Amino acid sequence: MHCQQIIQFGEPLQARDYPTPEPTGTQVLLKVSACGVCHSDLHIWEGFFDLGGGQKMDLLQRMSLPFTLGHEVVGEVAALGPEAEGVEIGDKRIVFPWIGCGKCNVCRAGNELLCMAPQTVGTRYNGGYADEVIAPHPKYLIPYDGVPTELACTYACSGLTAYSALKKLSHLSENDHLVIIGAGGVGLSAVHFASSVVKAKIIVADIDDTKRAVARQSGAHETIDNSDPDAALAKLQEITNGGAAGAIDFVGAPATALFGFNGLRKGGHMVTVGLYGDSMPLSIAMLPLMMRTIQGSYVGSLEEMHEMMALVRAGKVAPIPYEVRPLDDANSALTDLHAGKIKGRVVLSPHK
């Protein structure tokens, strides 16, 4: 098995080769066809999440090195553990990565996203920056018939995260406005899914001219340059006649979070998705006085993955732009993503 691994946090990935893993129990071995590169990979590569106020979540307490990134994985079934049923050798599947321990109360109730001991592919155990990967059970393998392989992998995180965040605002009406903040890979996925999930008019805020143009081409009703927060907030108030009913922050920085929250009307609902980090000042009194809601949204459930892929396979969702690079170009993909040079998604292929 050939892979690109974190050897030390913050240092370039290194190519390593290991014996091909043998699946046991219900495990399934897949030959990786494609693996997306995600902003979450940057945080894991750095080794921490910025919690604000000088505090950090140190990932060395949650995972061990060396480690193989990659949670947007598509592959072909190559071997089955003795208890694995439901797939056959040669089947092509997306690996659903957001897996719980399977033993705790929330997992047994079907809420694996709430598990406190997750077993996530590419964040807790070795992922798809490799030419082979292990899935723990066939139930986590999702068909993608009719969808290009390199595009299909992006739905495991970018697509699912956008879809799940939008569902939290599916109550908005056609007279409402929903602000999508950040038109990178995940935010752009949300623009593409929006018409299938919410009725509200979509406004996209991004500091990048090109990304705003792509958002308009993808169906956004309006776009806003939020590089000047005061001017952007004034424009948002004008467009929405007093504030948006909903906002989704796909960046998660102090400036974007404040823009989203302050741009809400009375009774507005903000969903926070991005993991850029730090913190923002918040008037506690304004929450009850303005009856606003702030909700976190992290990826999506297995049930939502099946719902989303039904839309994708039915041709109801436009594809996001993506480019394919060789697996061994993983370092340059991460640095380009960090520098904001990526439009859409980068997908790594062990066969390119």
How do residues 164-209 score in pLDDT, each as one tens digit?
A: 999 999 999 999 999 999 998 899 999 999 999 999 999 999 999 9
Angle between helices 330-338 and 39-46 (to 10 degrees): 100
The pLDDT value recorded for residue 1 is: 96
User: Which of the four pLDDT bands, split at 50, 70 and 90, describes residue 61?
Assistant: confident
The pLDDT value recorded for residue 62 is: 84
> What's the mean per-residue pLDDT of the chain?
95
CA distance 219 to 95: 29
The pLDDT value recorded for residue 72 is: 98
The pLDDT value recorded for residue 168 is: 98
The two three-digit tokens of residue 273, written as one number: 């998705």
Residues near 119 by beta carbon (within 8 Å), at least 6 away in sequence: 99, 100, 101, 102, 125, 136
Residues near 230 by beta carbon (within 8 Å), at least 6 away in sequence: none
